[in-house]
A and B are shown apart, each in its own frame.
Chain A
Amino acid sequence: MSNTSRRRWPLLLPPLLWQLTFFLLPLLFLFVISFWSVVNFRLEPDMTLKNWDFMLSRSSFWSAYGHTWALALGAAAVTTACSFPAACSLAFTVSERTRKLALMFLVVPFFTSYLVRVYSWQAFLADNGIVNALLSVVGIDGLPMLNSDFGSLVGYVTLALPLVTLVQTMGLAQIDRNLIEAAHNLRAGPVRTLFEVIMPLAKPSLVVGALFAFILAFGDFVAPTYLGGGAPPTLSNLIIDTTKSGQQWPRAAVVAIVMILTLVLTSLAAVRLAYGRRK
Chain B
Amino acid sequence: MMSGNGMLKIGRWFGWAYTGYTFLFILAPIAASLVFSFNADRFPSLPLKGFTTDWYGGTFTDPLVIEAFQRSVMVSIPVALLSTILGFCAAYCDFRFEFRGKSLFGLLMLLPPTIPAVIMGLGMLSYLSRINLAGEVWAVLISHVVIALPFAMAMIRLRLAQMDAALEEASWNLRASPAQTLWHVVLPFCKQSLVAAFLITAAVSFDEFAVAWFVSGLNETVPVRVLVFLQGQVSPVINAIGTAVFTSSILLVAIGMGFSGMGKAKRAAADSPAQPAGGAVTNNGLSL
Whether A and B are associated in the same complex: the answer reads yes
Q: Determine whether the beta carbon of A130 is less than 8 Å from that of B115.
A: no
**Contact string, A132-156, partner B, CB cutoff 8 A, digits 1/0?**
0100000000000000000000000
**A109 in the interface (beta carbon within 8 A):** yes
Q: Determine whether the beta carbon of B86 is less than 8 Å from that of A15.
A: yes
**A115 in the interface (beta carbon within 8 A):** yes
Q: Determine whether the beta carbon of A190 is less than 8 Å from that of B11.
A: yes
Instruction: Count B interface residues, CB 8 Å.
Output: 78
In Å, the complex CA distance between A259 and B97 comes to 33
In this complex, which of A25, A116, A128 has the most chain B Cβ atoms within 10 angstroms of its Cβ? A116
**A56 in the interface (beta carbon within 8 A):** no
In Å, the complex CA distance between A177 and B86 comes to 39
Chain B residues with CB under 8 Å of A108's CB are 26-27, 30, 249-250, 253
| Count of A-B residue pairs with CB < 8 Å | 237
In Å, the complex CA distance between A254 and B117 comes to 16
Chain B residues with CB under 8 Å of A66's CB are none
**A11 in the interface (beta carbon within 8 A):** yes
**A22 in the interface (beta carbon within 8 A):** yes
Stretch at the interface among B15-23, B50-58, B59-67: B15-23
Q: Determine which of B4, B36, B122, B149 lies in contact with A30 in the assembled complex, contact meaning CB atoms within 8 Å.
A: B122
Q: Determine which of B36, B112, B116, B124 lies in contact with A218 in the assembled complex, contact meaning CB atoms within 8 Å.
A: B116
Q: Determine whether the beta carbon of A219 is less than 8 Å from that of B117.
A: yes
**B73 in the interface (beta carbon within 8 A):** no
**Contact string, B167-189, partner A, CB cutoff 8 A, digits 1/0?**
00000000000100000000000
8 Å CB interface, A1-46 against B = 4-5, 7-8, 11-12, 14-16, 18-20, 22-27, 29-30, 33, 43
Q: Determine whether the beta carbon of B28 is less than 8 Å from that of A124.
A: yes
Chain B residues with CB under 8 Å of A111's CB are 203, 207, 245-246, 249-250, 253
Which chain B residue has the least Cβ–Cβ distance from A132? B46
Q: Determine whether the beta carbon of B36 is less than 8 Å from that of A12.
A: no
In Å, the complex CA distance between A110 and B230 comes to 19
8 Å CB interface, B91-139 against A = 92-93, 96-97, 99, 105, 108-109, 111-112, 114-120, 122-124, 126-128, 130
Chain A residues with CB under 8 Å of B32's CB are 120, 123-124, 130
Chain A residues with CB under 8 Å of B25's CB are 82, 157-158, 161
In Å, the complex CA distance between A23 and B93 comes to 19
Chain B residues with CB under 8 Å of A158's CB are 25-26, 29
Q: Determine which of B86, B87, B123, B149 lies in contact with A26 in the assembled complex, contact meaning CB atoms within 8 Å.
A: B123
Separation in Å of the A222 CB from the closest CB of chain B? Answer: 8
Which chain B residue has the least Cβ–Cβ distance from A94? B16
Separation in Å of the A130 CB from the closest CB of chain B? Answer: 6
**B281 in the interface (beta carbon within 8 A):** no
In Å, the complex CA distance between A11 and B203 comes to 25
**B143 in the interface (beta carbon within 8 A):** yes
**B155 in the interface (beta carbon within 8 A):** no
Known: A15-B149, A123-B32. A116 touches B241 (CB 8 A): yes
Chain A residues with CB under 8 Å of B223's CB are 113, 115
**B255 in the interface (beta carbon within 8 A):** no
Separation in Å of the B116 CB from the closest CB of chain A? Answer: 2
Q: Determine whether the beta carbon of B245 is less than 8 Å from that of A22.
A: no
Separation in Å of the A164 CB from the closest CB of chain B? Answer: 11
**Contact string, A204-233, partner B, CB cutoff 8 A, digits 1/0?**
000000000001001111000010000000
Separation in Å of the A157 CB from the closest CB of chain B? Answer: 8
Q: Determine whether the beta carbon of A112 is less than 8 Å from that of B122.
A: no
Known: A26-B124, A29-B130, A90-B19. A18 touches B149 (CB 8 A): yes
Q: Determine whether the beta carbon of B30 is less than 8 Å from that of A117.
A: yes
Separation in Å of the A254 CB from the closest CB of chain B? Answer: 11
**A129 in the interface (beta carbon within 8 A):** yes
Q: Determine which of B8, B14, B22, B227 lies in contact with A165 in the assembled complex, contact meaning CB atoms within 8 Å.
A: B22
**B75 in the interface (beta carbon within 8 A):** no
Which residues of A pack against B, CB within 8 Å?
4-5, 7-8, 11-12, 14-16, 18-20, 22-27, 29-30, 33, 43, 82-83, 85-86, 88-90, 93-94, 100, 102, 104-124, 126, 128-130, 133, 157-158, 161-162, 165, 189-190, 215, 218-221, 226, 236, 239-240, 243, 249, 252-253, 256, 259-260, 263, 267
Q: 12 pairs across A/B with beta carbons < 8 Å?
A: A15-B93, A43-B126, A85-B18, A93-B16, A104-B257, A108-B250, A115-B230, A116-B239, A124-B29, A133-B46, A260-B115, A267-B114
Top 3 closest pairs, chain A to chain B, by CB: A219-B116, A116-B242, A89-B15
Given contacts A89-B15, A119-B33, A161-B22, 13 further A-B contacts (CB under 8 A): A5-B99, A8-B96, A16-B108, A19-B112, A19-B149, A22-B143, A30-B126, A117-B29, A117-B30, A119-B238, A190-B8, A220-B116, A249-B122
